[in-house]
Structure 1
Amino acid sequence: MNKETSTLRSLANIIVRAVDSMERAYADAALPLPSLDKPFNPEDPAEALAQDSHVATAAKNLVAACAQISATVWNPRRFVTNQGKGVRSCSPIDKPPTDMKSKYNMSSCLRAVSDFNVVDVLREAGENGASVNDIGAAVGVDPRMIERILRLLATHHIFREVSPGVFANNRMSSTLEKAKPSRELFQSRETRFVGSSGIAAFVENDGEVGGKCALYLAESLRTPGLVPFNLAYDTKETLFEWMEGPERSYHVNRFASAMQGTAAMEPGDLIFRGFDWSALPRESVIVDVGGGIGHESLTIAKKYPHLRVVNQDFASPIEFSKAHWKKCFPEHVEKGMVEFLGESTFDHLHDFFTPQSVKNAAVFLLRHIIHDWPDDRAVVILQNLRKAAGEETQLVVIDKLVPFASTGTLADSKMSAIRGAEQQVAEAPLLPNWGAAVADVYLYDLTMHLMVGGIERTVQGFYELFAKAGWKLVEIHQSPGTQMSHIVGVPA
């Protein structure tokens, strides 16, 4: 048996063991595996079980092995060119929209069906679906184009073609629902994401802004000082400055909802799978730096209402945040346990590039913030927080950690001593980083560069960044089933 045949057999064995593990977990819980053909229901106990660490690990192995087999046996020329056209040989089953985001055909089709509220029209049509003529009439689009778009997506298991030219939602497409009657969505474009999970907002924002920026990656490499966003939108402003223009309130609100959507892609209790918020004394202050609507700090406050929250961001998202908190946790607002601070001008680009106004907070929380900025700018943010920190202040950065695609350990003894820093490695012959099963972290990395010149970092990257800003990285909490980590620092 030659090496490649042996590799195929080893990968097939990994698939069998992963399937056995998943079937056993669902059988023990007396639950069925969620059906691909049925709409996604976040309240379904079977969906909750999918976030269990053992089930998530089995799914990760399954996705990685399937993708590696596809790459091994497929015609390499077709494989490469189809990747360029936006076709994947295998897609992670837990987060399809995010893993498609740098594939222009898939991304543009996902954006189109969300932009025209096709998912919500099909939700109202029910499990038998609707014909492309009826869909086209409801959304005001040529039914022939609707058919072509939906068939491409259905071929990749997003939507279901019930019969020729008749489509219905499935587990994948239904994640794009906006939770409103379709007539309301067409009446008010400005508010159509309010009350939604944020997944549709994420897909649309990424498909529009990220898609345009991706076209200029090569050109930007020849243009030092500019990122693809600058070339795509012919501006010297950053994305954040550009969005604050008076005519772009829609983009700001969509972006805020999209950030909520990033949380919806992760386990609901992720914020509690790391840093111990319960250990903070009563009346401790958590500063949610660049918190958007304050989704994460609101989740913390609901579980630990004895904690105070300060939500900081631009003026527009802060107004959105006030409404969100009043709707979701009015008691905290009424008791004065949450404060909203917004920067109304761009004199200093953003609030966190100026001295931090809240001193001696218990925790400075930065979720999906540091990855927005290159090292020199990220250091400024962290230095401002360090200057405002007390001796007991802790820094909690929630971001993705980029794993290596090779074996090996952290060579620096200082980093290897950090609790939780060691990278987990997949069993051979899988790629050490689980390959396609974690592809979204690398896609995020490139997307951050495309839009804002940011970067997703390795453990070493965070270690060096913290040290430059006066913080000491002391602990990392990595959670199975997600690339998000709690990266904890204390004053150096």
Structure 2
Amino acid sequence: MGAPLTLPELESLQATMNHALDAVRDEIKRNKLPELSNYATEPHPLDNPAFVCPSRLYEARRLALATIGQLKSLLQQPYEKVVEQSCAVYDTAALDIFVKTGVIDRLADHSTPPEGLHVQELQKQFDLDAVKLAVILRYLASQGWLHETREGVFALTRPALELRKGNNGRKWILTPGKPKVAQSLLTQITHPEWKYSRQPDQTAFQLANDTPLTLFAWMKQRPDELTQWASSVQSLGDAYHSAIINDFPWRRWDGRTFIDCGGGQGNLSISLSEILPTSFFVVQDLPEVMPIAQANIERRAPAAAHEGRIAHEPVNFFEVQPRVGENHVYLLRYILHDWPDHACIAILKNITRVAPPSARFVIIEVISKPNTTSASDRHLEETVTLDDLVSVPHHVALTPPAYIPANFGVTAKMSLALGVHMMGVFNALERSMREWKTLLGKAGLRVVHVHTLRGMVSAIECEPVAAHAHVGHVGHIVGGKESH
């Protein structure tokens, strides 16, 4: 096969954008979805994290957004890009003002007219300077959070609906601390004693808060902040919960016992119990989390809780795993990205040192890809295009076309930003597949398969390396049956 045709960058990106948008329109019609509009007063089905997005539509949206990012870098004047980036700290500040002053709630109120409210009216209600408020709201409008229907009059756009009370976006934005940590990152990476440290108590977090405590120890002394932080973490879990349940072949393991390590409130185990009716689940976390987990399990899965199919117990994953048995499945969702490599290896070894060869591990985390680009389509004989995804029953990942980064560029910004935050808070990171394989190998695990999900995360399926695996002791009683 000859070398692939290389188009000029602008021409290639234009063709990619047209192809992606055509696919989005086709999938909206094919799946009988409402038309997309920024000015809708209700969320679109695609905005619902529980919606199982058709694979082609998911990939077409991702491709369109990646292309927009590449086009912006191609066309934007570099000096303007510098200034815009340096002022990005005001994105968070403006959004904080929007939510914490109550302006978002007033604009979301049913009594608000469709055209929105004038800043003078907001000044009367909130005792905020209308001139200053207009500066902030117009800045947010330029980023799609508001629609300025006429000068000084602002109404919510569809994305802003995610900031209303009860929504996951609201939970995330109310969690404080990121700007303080960000301001201390430079000191962290240049610190004469800490610059090469991997310890979770030698980070920007300690510098920003003038404390020797790790984040977890610090929040344990501040119950209100711990509750808010837990809420934001749960919102991240909710965002990709549907993809985790639908894109991994869980049903082949019905009848096995699942150990949900660091399982928090137990939402993953609860959802899996609904599709695996003969399996047992144990949600493990720290003692202070157990009352929250128990209440959530009894509320969301009363039958399974009554039958003993879902149990909960206090376990510190830095101690040897107490639940051991043939065909156990150990779940670690959003656990390892909180910790540097040596801590992750310790966590995993506390399981692999006692797990038999029949055990399986499912590690749900971001797999960071490089931001490399090519002027031609990659591996032409293996390329997956949007046309290949028409009516496919299961999710298949798209191959990034010419001039689109391997990580789909701006669509990876959320995971990359979280990676920077993890570094600033825990000395942790989001890892590449090469880094994951190295880490898992040191913990006595072999990667069996990597499952791509419709979301930021992937599921890494592992098994113990035979030389490291052995049964440690007789198992505990789970759901009325002995796990052995």
CA distance in 2, matches of 1:315, 1:146: 45
* Larger deviation, residues 151-160 vs 375-384: 151-160
Q: Residue 65 of structure 2 corresponds to which residue in structure 1?
A: 63
CA contact (8 A) 1:41 1:47 kept: no
Matched, 1:288 2:264: no
CA distance in 1, matches of 2:401, 2:69: 15
Match of 1:485 in 2: 458
Query: What is aligned with 2:147?
Result: 160
Please show how residues 94-113 of structure 1 align to structure 2 within 5 Å. 104-113=89-98
1:120 counterpart = 2:105: yes
Q: Which of the residues 207, 213, 226 maps onto 1:252? A: 226
Q: Secondary structure at the match of 1:37?
A: coil
Pair 1:367 & 2:337 matched: no
2-structure distance, mates of 1:216, 1:397: 31
- Using the size of structure 1 for normalisation, the TM-score is 0.80
Question: 1:342 and 1:112 mapped to 2: Cα distance?
Answer: 39
1:209 aligns with 2:177: yes
Give structure 1 stretches of 5+ with no counterpart: 87-103, 179-195, 344-350, 411-421
**Contact 1:129 1:166 (8 Å CA) reproduced:** yes
2:242 alignment partner, SS class: coil
Q: Which amino acid aligns with 1:387?
A: R
Q: What's the CA shift for 1:267?
A: 6.2
Partner of 1:355: 320
Of the three residues 326, 339, 349, the one matched with 2:298 is 326
Label 1:484 to 1:71 Cα distance change in 2 as closer, same or farther (>3 A). Answer: same
1:463 aligns with 2:437: yes
Inter-CA distance 423–405: structure 2 relative to 1 (3 Å threshold): farther
The residue identity in structure 1 corresponding to 2:147 is R
The one-letter code of the counterpart of 1:228 is: A
Question: Contact (CA 8 Å) 1:49, 1:55: kept in 2 or not?
Answer: no
**In 2, distance between residues paired with 1:117 and 1:262?**
23
CA contact (8 A) 2:240 2:456 kept: no
The offset of 1:489, in angstroms, is: 0.8
Residue 199 of structure 1: CA displacement? 2.4
For residues 267 and 337 of structure 1, the distance between their equivalents in structure 2, rounded to whole angstroms, comes to 21
- Which blocks of at least 5 consecutive residues in structure 2 are unaligned? 1-5, 380-395, 466-484
Cα distance in 2 for residues equivalent to 1:310 and 1:392: 18
User: Separation in 2 of the partners of 1:444 and 1:332?
Assistant: 34
- Using a 3 Å threshold, how does the CA distance of structure 1 residues 124 and 306 change in structure 2: closer, same or farther? farther
In the TM superposition, residue 56 of structure 1 has moved relative to its aligned partner by 1.7
Q: 3-state DSSP class of the match of 1:263?
A: helix
Query: Which residue in the other structure is 1:277 paired with?
Result: 250
Paired residues for 1:81-100 under 5 Å:
81-86=83-88
Query: 1:333-348 to 2 correspondence within 5 Å?
Result: 333-342=305-314
Query: Aligned pair in 2 of structure 1 residues 144, 309: CA closer, same or farther (>3 Å)?
Result: farther
Report the residue type matching 1:122 in the other structure. Answer: L
Moved more, 58-67 or 44-53: 44-53
User: Do 1:51 and 1:267's aligned partners in 2 also have CA atoms closer than 8 Å?
Assistant: no
8 Å CA contact 1:32–1:46 kept in 2: the answer is no
Residue deviations 1:176-235, cap 9 Å, x none?
222xxxxxxxxxxxxxxxxx3432222222xx2222101111100122142111101111
- Are the structure 2 counterparts of residues 55 and 217 from structure 1 closer, same or farther at C-alpha, using a change threshold of 3 Å? same
Quickly say closer, same or farther: Cα 1:393–1:209, change in 2 above 3 A: same
Does 1:402 pair with 2:404?
Answer: no
Matched letter for residue 107 of structure 1: T
> Given residue 318 of structure 2, which amino acid in structure 1 is its aligned partner?
F
Aligned to 1:183: none
- Counterparts of 1:209 and 1:333, CA distance in 2: 36
Q: How many residues are paired up? A: 430
Matched letter for residue 355 of structure 1: V
Kindly state the Cα deviation for residue 151 of structure 1 after the two structures are TM-superposed.
2.0
3-state SS of the aligned residue for 2:136? helix
TM-score (ref. length: structure 2)? 0.81
Q: How far apart, in 2, do the equivalents of 1:134 and 1:69 lie?
A: 39
Q: In the alignment, is residue 299 of structure 1 matched against residue 299 of structure 2? A: no
Report the equivalent of 2:134. 147
**Secondary structure of the structure 2 residue equivalent to 1:83:** helix
The 1:222/1:172 distance shift into structure 2, 3 A limit, reads same
The partner residue of 1:232 within 205, 208, 215 is: 208
Question: Which residue identity is paired with 1:256?
Answer: A
Amino acid at match of 1:453: N
User: 1:373/1:137 Cα in 2 relative to 1: closer, same or farther (>3 Å)?
Assistant: farther
**CA shift in 2, pair 1:250/1:144, >3 Å:** farther
Other-structure match for 1:221: 189
Residues 105-155 of structure 1 show CA distances to partners (whole Å, capped at 9, x for unaligned) of 112222333334443332224444334355456556555444333221111
Q: CA deviation at 1:16?
A: 1.0
Deviation at 1:407, TM superposition (A): 6.1
Answering whether residue 399 of structure 2 is matched by residue 433 of structure 1, we say no
CA contact (8 A) 2:368 2:407 kept: no
The letter for the 2-side match of 1:232 is A
Change (3 A) 1:31 1:317: same
Contact 2:269 2:310 survives alignment (8 Å): no
Distance 1:336 1:227 in 2: 42
Q: Does 1:384 align with 2:350?
A: yes
Query: Aligned residues: percent identity?
Result: 24
Give the aligned partner of residue 198 of structure 1.
168
Partner of residue 96, structure 1: none
1:59-91 Cα deviation digits (max 9, x unpaired): 1221121221111121101112211211xxxxx
Q: Does 2:137 align with 1:171?
A: no
Q: Which residue of 2 aligns with 1:192?
A: none
Q: Classify 1:60/1:447 alpha carbon distance in 2 versus 1 (closer, same or farther; 3 Å).
A: same
Q: Which of 285-294 and 125-134 deviates more?
A: 125-134
Report the AA paired with residue 229 of structure 1: F
Cα distance, 1:379 vs structure 2: 0.3
For structure 1, which segment, 263-272 or 137-146, has the greater mean C-alpha deviation from structure 2 after superposition?
137-146
Paired with 1:470 and 1:19, the residues of 2 have a C-alpha distance of 45
Aligned equivalents of 1:143 and 1:318: distance in 2?
Answer: 47
Q: Which amino acid aligns with 2:268?
A: E
Q: Distance in 2 between matches of 1:47 and 1:279?
A: 25
* 1:268 partner SS: helix
Give the secondary-structure state (helix, strand or coil) at the position aligned to 1:199: helix
Q: Distance in 2 between matches of 1:124 and 1:159?
A: 15
AA partner of residue 320 (structure 1): I
SS of alignment partner, residue 352 of structure 1 = coil
